[in-house]
Homo-oligomer: A and B are copies of this chain.
Amino acid sequence: MIERTLSTDEITALDAYWRAANYLTVGQIYLQDNPLLREPLRPAHIKPRLLGHWGTSPGLNLIYAHLNRIIRERDADVIYLAGPGHGGPALLANVYLEGTYSEVYPNITQNLMGLRAFFRQFSTPGGVPSHVSPPTPGSIHEGGELGYVLTHAFGAAFDNPNLLAVAVVGDGEAETGPLEGSWKGVRFLNPVHDGAVLPILHLNEYKIGGPTVLGRASDESIGRLLAGHGYDPHFVAGTDPMRVHATLARTLDACVDVIDLIQNNARTAGHATECRRWPAIVLRTPKGWTGPKEVDGKPIEGTFRAHQVPLAEVRTNPKHLAMLESWMRSYRPEWLFDQEGRLRADLAALAPKGDRRMGANPHANGGRLSVPLDLPNPRTYSIPVASPGTERHESTQRLGQLLRDTYRKNPSNFRLFCPDETNSNRLGAVFEVESRCLVERTIPTDERVSPEGRVMEVLSEHNCEGWLEGYLLTGRHGLFATYEAFALIVASMATQHAKWLDSCEELPWRVPVPSLNILLTSTCWRNDHNGFSHQGPGFMDTIISKKGTVARVYLPPDANCLLSVADHCLRSKNHVNLIIIDKQPQLQWLDLDEAREHCERGASVWQWASSVGQPDIVLACAGDIATMETLAAVAWLRARAPEMRVRVVNVVDLMSLFSPDEHPHGMTEERFVDIFTPDIDVVFAFHGYPGAVHQLLHRRTHASRFHVRGYREEGTTTTPFDMVVLNDTSRFHLVMEALRRTRHPPPGADRLIDECRAILKHHANYVREHFEDMPEIRDWVWKAA
């Protein structure tokens, strides 16, 4: 127990440090010159465009200063996640004060000139963003889209037993669904092998324009809410800095003591002991605290008007300028900084040292700590394919075995995240070695549920995605497996993560982190039983539009391709890898060596299914069901129109269709022509919306010869085969299109088209009359010649 009362000197020093951070925050928002006000403030010192968020910043600075003390006194390993990350200047101020910033960016020195440059670069073209973002040392959480700070904190804490992730939740953010859904992370936190998360709900009552729900709620109400979520809430509130310093210090000590106690008890016992609730802090301070009280007759401090730039006309309105000057001088910069413009030595000593500084903590630059996965050999799980298209297997079941052994070989460096579908997605082999995680009582009817478990099942795509992001950004490895349609729930989160990775590309000090791997199963084509709401391949489109440096989309057609792709993705860094394959038993096409070669190429001609020589028509496909339909179409054509010269192309790496200047995986035009011919028509069966392929191909030679079929928002509860029929993507639709587009129509092409039409009509009647799946059509597939 370190809990104690700070002396007046200690509080005074803490307050001075806080004032310095507040001063630097205001300076970044307003000043382009005269950084320490060594001369009277003039309009010329003011930036031409005033940007930045003042309102939340004093609170963020307060917490930072107090955490510095905790770290220093306890040698604690702490990272700081700023939910209200639009208070970017606050975090920048602190990493500057502690010296990290100048180490990472040597041009921003610890003196007057450095300070001037530090102010000038903020939220300026060619400078640094206004929100916490990748360029901010110590950050793993972007201050843009709100709602994910707790998920990131929990992800960081999993399997990081010595880490304390402090997550500041702003009261605006606290209103979002994803944030409210993420308090429950504590029910998945194991005090033996995980670190701790200390949420600080920082309430300053207002958003941009109106009050917040929790800001306006009573302590009693918030107390119940947090208790209901499994926390022991501690309240700190006030408007008098000295009192708040004292209470916050005492409270932080108490909370960290409890965390230590929970962890020590559990670690001594060797298992999660009877639950003592984890602490959380509710901190109520005025919005824009220590800023102007009133401007032009309107209250500012403590209101929504303090949200961004409280004094807007400082360049033109002398009264505003004077108010800014007196505001900034109220922090006493002449006392805080020495002659060179460096923070006083006694204050600088309040920051932790080296990697203990929150801006320098290696967990927040996870690549520094990342240990590569020890991956099993995919061959162990591969399927021998003597003859293509003759056997059906659940492809994802093989991946499950690979993941099982990945768990086995990397017991605390890898996790699978899934919204309660691990078995449903046929990845259940992982339960041979790992349990579902739930740090609650378990009962005899549970199967593979344990507080020690590391399979993360929670019916919240937001938690799955956010936990994994936090886990990856701190250097570990994982996979998020989910139903295809509901991946769209996290389209925005994945977009933000892709943007984060993309920004990191330009920051050599950010060591690459393991890729975000997302497996989409239970796809639109095989949600025949779940119906229209479960049929949506749109997540892919979100990834395709992201930068080529980051985004990858794979459509393995069978188990061996899936194993090959997964092996590649689990080794890769700084990518968002999307892998799409269904979980149902499906035909197998390639043996592992062929699969590897095929996946490496990204797309290739399947010679064994193609006619010799130049084709009359190309049948291309991407996606498992698209592949099956295509090969069934080719089999049908081979039987009925043997004269037709057909080429089959399979695309496993969708990005290979891009031109090389759009995506690093893009095929050269030469290879493209080699595969797709220069001018022969291509009937393209696609897994997703056809538009996705159209946009990939637009720069290619004679792009208009590509006739793409795919999901076009037709569906209901029906049979798998009816799904491809409804979307005009069945083997018979492909056959008809091929017969219409082929360069040399075979004899009787019209008759063959009529025959397809008749079959499809029969199909429609058939399923309605017999309420039956159509095994004889479903199983009528490619047999190797």
Contact = CB atoms under 8 A, between A and B. Distances in A.
A742 interface: no
Contacts of A221: 227-228, 230
A447 B180 contact: no
A681 interface: no
Interface in A482-515: 485-486, 488-489, 491-492, 495-496, 499, 502-503
Given A177-B177, A216-B440, A421-B209, A128 B222 contact: no
A303 interface: yes
A291 interface: no
A214 to B, nearest CB: 9
Given A303-B445, A695-B694, A459 B207 contact: yes
Interface string A131-157: 101000000001111110000000000
A425 to B, nearest CB: 10
Contact of A460 (B51, B176, B499): B176
B713 A420 contact: no
Interface core residue of A184, A447, A460, A463 (most chain B CB under 10 Å): A460
Given A32-B771, A177-B462, A531-B144, A717 B545 contact: no
Given A130-B531, A175-B459, A48 B772 contact: yes
A457 interface: yes
**For chain A, what secondary structure do more than half of its interface residues adopt (helix, strand, loop), or is it mixed?**
loop
Contact of A175 (B460, B531, B719): B460
Interface in A407-455: 420-424, 436, 438, 440-443, 445-447, 449
A542 B545 contact: no
Interface string A676-699: 000000000000011110111011
Nearest to A172: B459
A541 interface: yes
A376 interface: no
Interface in A174-189: 175-184, 187
B529 A173 contact: no
A125 B228 contact: no
A535 B32 CA distance: 26
Interface in A82-139: 86, 120, 123-131, 133
A768 interface: yes
Nearest to A536: B495
Given A178-B177, A228-B223, A209 B531 contact: no
Contacts of A49: 529, 772-773
A596 interface: no
Contacts of A489: 145, 147, 492
A177 B181 contact: yes
A223 B722 CA distance: 47
B459 A177 contact: no
A449 B123 CA distance: 32
Contact of A420 (B208, B222, B531): B208
A455 to B, nearest CB: 9
B173 A459 contact: yes
A717 B773 contact: no
Contacts of A223: 228
Given A49-B773, A545-B713, A130 B698 contact: no
A211 interface: yes
A70 interface: no
A120 B771 CA distance: 8
Contacts of A13: none
Contact of A216 (B226, B441, B488, B695): B441
A302 interface: yes
A703 interface: yes
Contacts of A182: 177
Q: How large is the interface on A (under 10, 10 to 19, 20 to 34, 35 or more residues)?
A: 35 or more
A445 B300 CA distance: 9
A148 to B, nearest CB: 10
A162 to B, nearest CB: 27
B209 A424 contact: yes
B773 A124 contact: no
Contact of A438 (B210, B495, B496): B210
Most chain B CB within 10 A, of A227, A443, A531, A544, is at A531
A718 interface: yes
A441 B218 CA distance: 10
A458 B120 CA distance: 35
A692 B689 contact: no
A533 interface: yes
A144 to B, nearest CB: 2
B538 A212 contact: no
Contacts of A692: 691, 695
Contact of A213 (B48, B187, B213): B187
Nearest to A463: B177
A176 B226 contact: no
A47 interface: yes
Given A224-B227, A299-B445, A177 B147 contact: yes
Contacts of A690: 695
A763 to B, nearest CB: 10
A532 interface: yes
Contacts of A147: 177, 489
Contacts of A32: 771
A752 interface: no
Given A184-B213, A542-B541, A703-B703, A533 B144 contact: yes
Going nearest first, the 7 A-B pairs with the smallest beta carbon separation are A144-B533, A225-B228, A177-B181, A691-B695, A224-B228, A488-B492, A126-B768
Given A181-B181, A221-B228, 6 more contacts: A125-B719, A175-B459, A208-B420, A221-B230, A225-B225, A704-B704
25 contacts: A129-B716, A144-B485, A144-B533, A145-B489, A145-B533, A147-B177, A175-B459, A176-B181, A177-B180, A177-B181, A177-B460, A180-B180, A180-B181, A208-B423, A210-B449, A211-B438, A211-B442, A225-B229, A227-B228, A488-B491, A491-B542, A545-B691, A546-B713, A691-B692, A704-B704
